[in-house]
């Protein structure tokens, strides 16, 4: 009976497996990739201790709302604009995007270039806004 259900609902079963794998990856992906993550509370603490906030979203996303005093470098331009961040190489850098996926990739790029204190904001700007933390809406 169970095999018949699986055969009749192969698409749904496949979707459930893929969704579960994606959810699992969101929990363990950072640990596997070596990218450290911080939640909004830890990010706020780091910001209060003079950490740089780096927003790697696209221009339209950034203008629509970003963490106050965030520096904006879209992920696609990060590798060519690393010199702009050189003076922050030994300081904590909190990298954020919409949900935490692009910023995790950005952290990988930064780590590869010697920015050892780069951390990913877990949940991105969505988590920041959900925590009712301040957002600026100007460029």
Confirm if 119 and 95 have CB atoms less than 8 A apart. yes
107 catalytically annotated? no
The catalytically annotated residue of 43, 73, 97, 125 is 97
Please report, for residues 102, 114, 117, the alpha-carbon distance to residue 108 in angstroms, rounded to integers and kept in the order given. Answer: 10, 10, 11
Q: Which residues pair with 72 in a beta bridge?
A: 55
Please report, for residues 7, 10, 11, 17, 97, the alpha-carbon distance to residue 4 in angstroms, rounded to integers and kept in the order given. Answer: 5, 10, 13, 17, 43
Confirm if 123 and 114 have CB atoms less than 8 A apart. no
Residue positions annotated with a catalytic role: 97
């Amino acid at each position: 009976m169970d095999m018949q259900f699986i055969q009749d609902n192969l698409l749904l079963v496949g979707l459930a497996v893929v969704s579960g794998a994606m959810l699992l990856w969101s929990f363990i992906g950072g640990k596997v990739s070596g990218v450290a993550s911080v939640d909004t509370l830890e990010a706020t603490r780091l910001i209060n201790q003079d950490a740089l906030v780096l927003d790697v979203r696209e221009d339209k996303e950034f203008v629509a709302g970003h963490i106050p005093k965030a520096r904006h470098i879209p992920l696609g331009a990060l590798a060519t604009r690393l010199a702009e961040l050189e003076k922050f190489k030994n300081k904590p850098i909190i990298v954020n995007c919409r949900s935490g996926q692009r910023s995790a990739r950005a952290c990988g790029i930064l780590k590869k270039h010697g920015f050892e204190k780069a951390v990913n904001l877990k949940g991105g700007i969505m988590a920041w806004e959900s925590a009712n933390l301040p957002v600026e809406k100007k460029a």
